[in-house]
């Protein structure tokens, strides 16, 4: 039995915001952002768009692909996706910017709008590692029950709505988007020379760093009080330098641990797909590991940091751009709020 990815999709808001656009609003400039992060643009959702809206679009694209649809007609895509949605047993969404606080889950909203009537649905709170955690969770849920065959794993974020524009070190990093994959339990082998699908996952956490990436207000620790006037809306706080150091360590350790556990070297890997937080993090980790930067897939220039969405967006771009061949061994790495980190080793 193998857990294989049979469809990918993404959804990115049409509104593109360049570094120069930001420079007209806050004290920053294109040169600083590019040289410190590799970011050139980000996409921002409009006022009416929430996490589930982007997640739904990405899911439809992945479901339609899983049903064999490859055209451009959106009505036909919707028909293929609706049919495909009926086969889904589980929907897992990694997000830090859910539609609602705590309940209902964003996954339940997507489940309803897709008509995925037999699917269970839940969100995962693992920051930017949400997709990695989501893959392992969904794969485990499929594996322990013979009647469950297919799951949707989505990363979706509308980070533009939780930006603190007075924090220039953080606000320039973030973007909106969603990515999705359909995974299926197939009869292919998961061991031996013809092995396929999700081979191995590492999941890790270091809660002692929980203050380094945090939505401080609004939860049961610091609830809003009736009549209280708040200076700032709910926003993401980040200690950039601490997260940077953690991230370089997390990428290095995850790559080393997955390669060691699988008994492979970097030459066996077709590509490494890191969470797109900062190109400098990837360069520093690549240098430590002795891995050339070309081995890593990077699209941060266009989308900035879309947290849990960045890896499935990257997978969809690589897949549709024919950058992945059947049988390619790929390694994904996530790191972020919690602090959490981890990676999936997958035969495409």
Which 314-343 residues touch ligand UT7, going by CB under 6 A?
Answer: 336
Q: Does 279 bind ligand UT7 (CB under 6 A)?
A: no
Closer to ligand UT7 by Cβ: residue 33 or 91: 33
Q: Does 240 bind ligand UT7 (CB under 6 A)?
A: yes
Q: Does 172 bind ligand UT7 (CB under 6 A)?
A: yes
Contact with ligand UT7 (CB under 6 A) among 168, 195, 200, 288 = 168
Contact with ligand UT7 (CB under 6 A) among 247, 255, 273, 346 = 247
Q: Which of 210, 259, 257, 268 is nearest to 238 (CA)?
A: 210
Annotated catalytic residue 29: no
Binding mask 120-159 for ligand UT7 (x = CB under 6 A): --------x-------------------------------
Complete edge-to-edge strand list for the sheet that includes strand 197-205: 197-205, 340-347, 329-336, 271-274
Q: Does 44 bind ligand UT7 (CB under 6 A)?
A: no
Q: What's the residue count for the chain?
A: 348
Contact with ligand UT7 (CB under 6 A) among 68, 102, 115, 169 = 169
Helix (H) or strand (E) holding 333: strand 329-336
Closer to ligand UT7 by Cβ: residue 91 or 202: 202
Is the alpha carbon torsion for 165, 168, 172, 176 positive or negative?
Answer: negative
Question: Candidates 90-98, 197-205, 264-272, 275-283 — which segment interacts with ligand UT7 by CB under 6 A?
Answer: 275-283
- Please give the span between the terminal C-alpha atoms of the chain, in angstroms, as a whole number: 15
Question: Candidates 28-36, 74-82, 85-93, 187-195 — which segment interacts with ligand UT7 by CB under 6 A?
Answer: 28-36
Q: Does 16 bind ligand UT7 (CB under 6 A)?
A: no
Please tell me the distance from the alpha carbon of residue 184 to that of residue 197, in angstroms, as a whole number.
9
Contact with ligand UT7 (CB under 6 A) among 36, 113, 249, 320 = 36
Annotated catalytic residue 103: no
Please tell me the distance from the alpha carbon of residue 121 to that of residue 91, in angstroms, as a whole number.
5
Please tell me the distance from the alpha carbon of residue 194 to that of residue 8, in angstroms, as a whole number.
22
Footprint on this chain of ligand UT7 (rule: CB under 6 A)? 28, 32-33, 36-37, 128, 168-169, 172, 213, 238, 240-241, 243-244, 247, 277-278, 281, 305, 307, 336
Catalytic annotation, residues = 128, 275, 305
């Amino acid at each position: 039995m193998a857990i294989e990815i049979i469809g990918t999709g993404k959804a990115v808001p049409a509104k593109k915001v360049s570094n120069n656009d930001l420079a007209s609003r806050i004290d920053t400039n294109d040169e600083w952002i590019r040289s410190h992060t590799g970011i050139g643009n980000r996409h921002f959702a409009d006022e009416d768009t929430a996490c589930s809206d982007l997640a739904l679009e990405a899911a439809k694209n992945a479901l339609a692909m899983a049903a064999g649809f490859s055209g451009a007609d959106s009505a036909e895509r919707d028909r293929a996706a609706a049919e495909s949605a009926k086969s889904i047993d589980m929907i897992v969404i990694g997000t830090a910017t859910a539609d609602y606080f705590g309940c209902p889950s964003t996954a339940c909203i997507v489940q309803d709008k897709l008509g995925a009537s037999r699917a269970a649905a839940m969100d995962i709170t693992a920051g930017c590692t949400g997709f990695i955690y989501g893959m392992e969770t969904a794969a485990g849920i499929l594996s322990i029950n013979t009647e469950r065959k297919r799951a949707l794993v989505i990363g979706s974020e509308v980070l533009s709505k939780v930006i603190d524009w007075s924090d220039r070190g953080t606000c320039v990093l973030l973007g909106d988007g969603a990515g999705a994959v359909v995974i299926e339990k197939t009869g292919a082998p998961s061991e031996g020379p013809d092995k396929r699908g999700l081979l191995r996952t590492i999941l890790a956490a270091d809660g002692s760093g929980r203050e380094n990436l945090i939505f401080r207000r609004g939860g049961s620790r610091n609830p809003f009080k009736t009549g209280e006037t708040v200076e700032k809306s709910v926003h993401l706080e980040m200690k950039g330098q601490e997260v940077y150091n953690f991230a370089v360590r997390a990428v290095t350790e995850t790559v080393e641990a997955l390669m060691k556990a699988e008994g492979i070297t970097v030459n066996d890997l077709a590509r490494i797909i890191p969470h797109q937080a900062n190109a400098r993090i990837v360069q520093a980790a690549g240098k430590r590991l002795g891995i050339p930067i070309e081995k890593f897939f990077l699209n941060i220039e266009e989308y900035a940091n879309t947290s849990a969405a960045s890896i499935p967006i990257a997978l969809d771009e690589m897949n549709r751009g024919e950058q992945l061949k059947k049988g390619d061994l790929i390694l994904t790495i996530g790191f972020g709020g919690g602090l959490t980190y981890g990676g999936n080793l997958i035969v495409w």
